[in-house]
Structure formats: C-alpha cells, structure tokens
Amino acid sequence: MKRNGILNSEIASVLAYMGHTDYICIGDCGLPIPDGVKRIDVSIKKGVPSFASVLKEVALDMVIEEIILAQEIKEQNPTVLNEIKEIVGNVKITYVLHEEFKQQLKAAKAVIRTGECTPYANIILKSNVNFD
C-alpha cells in the first residue's frame, strides 16, 4: 500500500503514465466528457469531493507546466478561480472559451469528475517534466 500521494488507483495510474505536454482534466459534476476519454468518477454527492480538494491532491503529485481554464470562470466563478490560483501558484494560465475548453478534452488522458456543483469549476492540467 502507498504511504503518500494519491490513493485512487485510476488517478495514480494516469499520472504515472503521462508524459510532457499530456493533459488531464478535473471537472465539476456537469462537465460533458467526450466518448473515448477515460472517466474517473470520484463524486459521492453534491459538493463531495470538492473541485479544490481534488485539485490540491493532484497538484501535489503532478509537475504542471500550464493550466487551461474557461474564460467564463472569471465572471461566473471568481471564488474557484482564486482557489485555483492559490493551489497552482505561478503556473502559466491560458483562458479559452468554454466551448473550446470542451473540445480540448478530446486530447485528455482522463477526466476526473468531482462532486463540485458550481459553474466552470473545470481545469485542464498540462504535464511538465520532472528534470530537477
């Protein structure tokens, strides 16, 4: 059994499999996941687990080069936007329209579905390399 890090075997497996510039997404419970993209559903009920709690754990276990967010989060969900910025720190942020965001999900290695029930609480994490 693992001592530290993500215990969810599907999430841990996807993170271990990812290479430089690969994508993984963390989304709210309403985000449409394209056919053919791995769905990792960790939702229990509305709000559980929260988007931020899942993002915190994934960010601790992943080298992130860039994040992609829907432009609409700025107006529609500034609370979650601020949480994202606190969690990821100085990582490059790219904003796209929500429709483009959904199109980019087709290239994701997986989408983690949370119990989050607030608008635009979705993020694409672009993997970096761990060459210290």
Overall average pLDDT of the 111-128 stretch: 98
Q: How many CB atoms lie within 10 A of CB 71?
A: 15
Q: Mean per-residue pLDDT for 103-123?
A: 98
* Collapsed DSSP state (helix, strand, coil) of residue 90: coil
Domain membership flag for residue 103:
yes
Active site includes 98? no
Do the domain assignments include residue 16? Answer: no
Residue 14 in any domain: the answer is no
Residue 119's domain comprises 23-127
pLDDT value of residue 4:
82
Residue 97 domain-assigned (yes or no): yes
- pTM for the full model? 0.95
**How many structural domains is the chain composed of?**
1
Task: Kindly state whether residue 40 falls inside one of the protein's structural domains.
Answer: yes
In a domain, 120, yes or no: yes
* CATH number of the domain that residue 112 is part of: 3.40.1650.10
For 48: left if phi > 0, alpha if psi spans -120 to 50, otherwise beta; the answer is: beta
**Predicted local distance difference test score (pLDDT) of residue 108:** 98
* 86, pLDDT greater than 80: yes
* Choice among 9, 20, 41, 94 that is catalytic: 20
Residue 5: pLDDT band (50, 70, 90) is confident
Q: Report the residue count for the chain.
A: 132
